[in-house]
Chains A and B, each alone.
Chain A
């Protein structure tokens, strides 16, 4: 081996490096560097032509300075000159400089490409390799344009040297990754695949990376690689440890190639050919067997290389998920690693087991290791290992072990690292909900969570516990009792006060029979926390107080006193002041009946995906369980959401309420009429609208107790007023033809693409408000027709039609609407929507009524657009790109470049994209300015997966703000429609 200090030593460089190292301070270093830069600059500019050696030396110095972290803005041209030198070292330094200081000056690029071209055609393998390395290091589009055609030829040519082939393969891979459109494999495909058979192991090692990448994108064209890979793997696995000479690494034959082969196989399903499959299973078994053999060397390199192959084999076994025998063996092997003395192996075993836990074949086998994993959570000294243990516990949790796991996670939480607390809290909350058999356990768990880690309990978590308590009448009494007890603690977390305030405000009556928790005791307990709380919590408590006045008339004077105090009624915070004023007024003027109505118990929440789950998905680390699996689990435990009794089982509620000594018992009769979601307003029950309003009003997160009277000025809430009691006539008594859609109807439609609620239309007479909600392929829309005049509207009718083809794509049913709208009054109409397949047009809504004798006839487009049926899909960066690539047929993509109509505020954009209904994926696009989203459009006939990418360009060449929007969907019409709809939104 050549010693280093030979002819190549550039003494000047060495001296310069020594000088820099001897600098005592940063300033001295900068001074020395500036001196050198000035010197180099003058040499480069000088009249005397520099010889190659000096040029090389100075370029190398510049490179050194750059790598120290200083900016270099010259020397590129000198470096390019070096490329065409005949002297190898000069050329080499030139290439190194170019690779490190990539420059996009087009003149330079032309020169660089020329030099590369010369070297590629020089037939000197050393020069060719240098040129190929440079292309692979820079990998720019310009280089792809210049060389993507040439390199495949070099790669497969019979007379190319092995070392050049290796560089060519990886160079091509780099170009394929940067500019897939420019690298056309077509005719080369089969010859490239056959490189797997090459005699030279180095060629196979390099080529397989290229083949793997190509297979991921074009699995069909490359599928012949499967059998080749299996036979290559089989030969390696069965070879003796010395057969492969220098490709044997610490007694392990070709570990890198083995791993790459196993990785390549993970691009495909299990081989169909029985013989190939048999051979592969044999390989996998051999690998598992070898793991049990005594090590051939004590060196860690030996065991690392061996285990690297083992873990890759286990990944393949998990990927196939079809060989129970292998899965269980893999699990047992990992089980041994769980207690290995090497931290690395323990970490990897925990990580790998997480995926095994989600396979039905190995779930049980994973569960047997629960004690070891719990122990790891308690005793591991490295937080990253503990994190893995927590992930695994989460993944292996099911009904049988939920209580144990949740208890362990809770106790771990007391000492857990701050960095992982929030995620732990979410996980505990999800497990507690998912596997709750009795709800008292669930309530206890969440309250413990707040007690132990209150700061990390996000809104979603405490919203959720309230949703569940409201929806489950069997746990309300217990919840009230438990929060009451929890609030006894002298210092309790604000989140506890929020939950306590809310639950006592709703269900305090259930424990008021006990003198120890009499109404006044409850109130005093809550109020003792008031002064320590933030404004939002105080606001919530004020609402709880007004609820108390209704629940317990005996507290009225005490509470009024509190509301009347200067610190409330003159509070500097507008929200608090307003609440105090309004609640005080309400409690003093409203009759008991009105009060009881306004402050009625919250209706059950509509069933929807747990917001906690959504949050965890957002945070999802690699150890997390797959989304599908979670959702399945949720369906299983779905009864917790109270979905089954939405708007139903009122008699049970009534009964449970009646059994309690509630002073509001006289109002129970009203509850029976409470239709939370569906049913059109029944005539006669004048209070119904208020409550169904409240049910609809909630937008997934519990806001606060908001007495509906407060919002009576809002269009969408109908106060308890006089409403007509005549039954609605069928909506079809119309003689006049419906008017054509208003010219602005498209524009109105566009306003609702990214939102579900708002004012659809307004003129001098009429205001139409909309609220809508969608789930799966179903939707429900509430239309509110407000009469803005003081005169009655008569023969008010509405018709919803699906023009033309839309009929077979969308099923829309409108419930009848009141034929008469009093001046200043508002009526509501419910429309049910079902998406049968994807659609383009919007349904039409025709409205006719007479106002002072004149017929009003107008037609609008109902804002039902295809994106309303989006189900958001969270996915990791890798999955996103994989799917993106899978949707690469030209017709699957729709793209639009358009000017920004609104500002480019990131938050606004995000809100719009969220409103669209897709999942907004963070940290996926390498450019943080861009947005990517994923979702599945649900319809009865099909599901259409869609991916979206929005690239804002704040300074396009024209000086205008521009966007580029790209949508890819599994169905071409969907991409097109989405693109059209969205282009109007930004």
Chain B
């Protein structure tokens, strides 16, 4: 039942989409083996479409050789990507969008992850995927840069972590061990 409703919803949203030209349409993080590690969509797209797009983009980017340029035309969009260690960071932006500044968006996000996790690696993102999403939300909202200062973004995340700790200290030691 619910699925049907979902489908209807998607249609409605795609219809609404007509007016929406979003700077960044989606961001994907995936491994060299093509495993998707993080996906953020800034335009409403159905789940099946998302899967299809991700597959297509991942395949395309993985086929690129080093030294090739970091920009690709894909459908009406531009794909801007960069590889960091075992992970590819990849953004789809509007055709008019500035490619170089998008590359640096990627870099700033990597810096944020790195600073937060302390030399970030792929595993950090796998095991703390929700954190990776929170950091991204502080940095980019609705496909547009919200706060480009590294300090300010991390301050916001830090504050949230503080709230978290206050709330949870009493239970974590006892129950975590017993639970699994």
Interface positions of A (Cβ within 8 A of B): 1-4, 6-9, 11-12, 14-15, 17, 21, 53, 60, 63-64, 67, 69, 71, 73, 86-89, 92-93, 96, 102-105, 126, 129, 132-133, 136-137, 139-141, 163, 166-167, 170-171, 173-174, 177-180, 201-202, 205-206, 209, 245-247, 249, 254-257, 259-260, 263, 301, 304-305, 307-308, 311-312, 343-344, 346-348, 381-382, 384-385, 387, 621-622, 876-878, 881, 884-885, 923, 925-927, 949, 951
Contacts and interface: CB of A to CB of B under 8 A. Distances in A.
A927 B15 contact: yes
A821 B147 CA distance: 82
Interface of B: 2-3, 5-6, 8-9, 11-23, 36, 38-39, 43-44, 47, 51, 65, 67-73, 75-76, 94-96, 98-101, 103-105, 107-108, 115-118, 124, 126-131, 133-134, 137, 141-142, 144-152, 154, 156, 158-161, 163-165, 167-169, 171-172, 175-177, 179-180
A126 B101 contact: no
Given A88-B167, A103-B2, A174-B142, A1 B148 contact: no
Main secondary structure of the interface of A (DSSP, over half): helix
A137 B130 contact: no
Contact of B168 (A87, A136, A205, A311): A87
Most buried by A among B129, B131, B167: B167
A92 B160 contact: yes
Given A163-B156, A178-B13, A311-B98, 12 more contacts: A4-B128, A21-B126, A67-B129, A126-B159, A140-B9, A246-B152, A254-B148, A343-B67, A381-B65, A384-B69, A926-B43, A927-B15
Contacts of A87: 164, 167-168
B69 A89 contact: no
- Which 7 pairs show the lowest CB-CB distances between chains A and B? A104-B9, A308-B100, A177-B20, A88-B163, A308-B101, A174-B142, A209-B144
B147 A205 contact: yes
Given A247-B149, A343-B68, A178 B160 contact: no
B95 A344 contact: no
A17 B76 contact: no
Nearest to B105: A256
A263 B93 CA distance: 15
30 contacts: A4-B124, A11-B177, A15-B180, A17-B126, A69-B36, A71-B47, A73-B2, A89-B163, A93-B130, A136-B142, A163-B152, A173-B144, A174-B142, A178-B13, A180-B19, A206-B146, A245-B149, A246-B149, A255-B101, A311-B100, A312-B101, A346-B69, A347-B71, A348-B99, A348-B100, A384-B71, A385-B69, A622-B73, A923-B75, A927-B18
Contacts, number: 256
A182 to B, nearest CB: 11
A884 B20 CA distance: 12
A256 B106 CA distance: 12
B26 to A, nearest CB: 12
B101 A259 contact: yes
Nearest to A260: B145
Contacts of B145: 205-206, 209, 256, 260
A180 B175 CA distance: 49
A246 B151 contact: yes
B19 A177 contact: yes
Contact of B130 (A63, A304, A927): A63
Given A304-B104, A305-B101, A167 B134 contact: no
A126 B20 contact: no
A108 to B, nearest CB: 10
B2 A7 contact: no
A1 B159 CA distance: 11
A1 B8 CA distance: 44
Nearest to B171: A53
Contact of A171 (B6, B124, B141, B169): B141
A11 B156 contact: no
A202 B21 contact: no
Given A96-B133, A206-B146, A881-B21, A927 B14 contact: yes
Nearest to B94: A878
A202 B147 contact: yes
A201 B152 CA distance: 11
Nearest to A299: B107
Nearest to A201: B149
Contacts of B126: 17, 21
Contacts of A8: 161, 164-165, 168
Contacts of B117: 4
Q: Among B20, B146, B150, B160, which residue has the most Cβ atoms of chain A within 10 A? A: B146
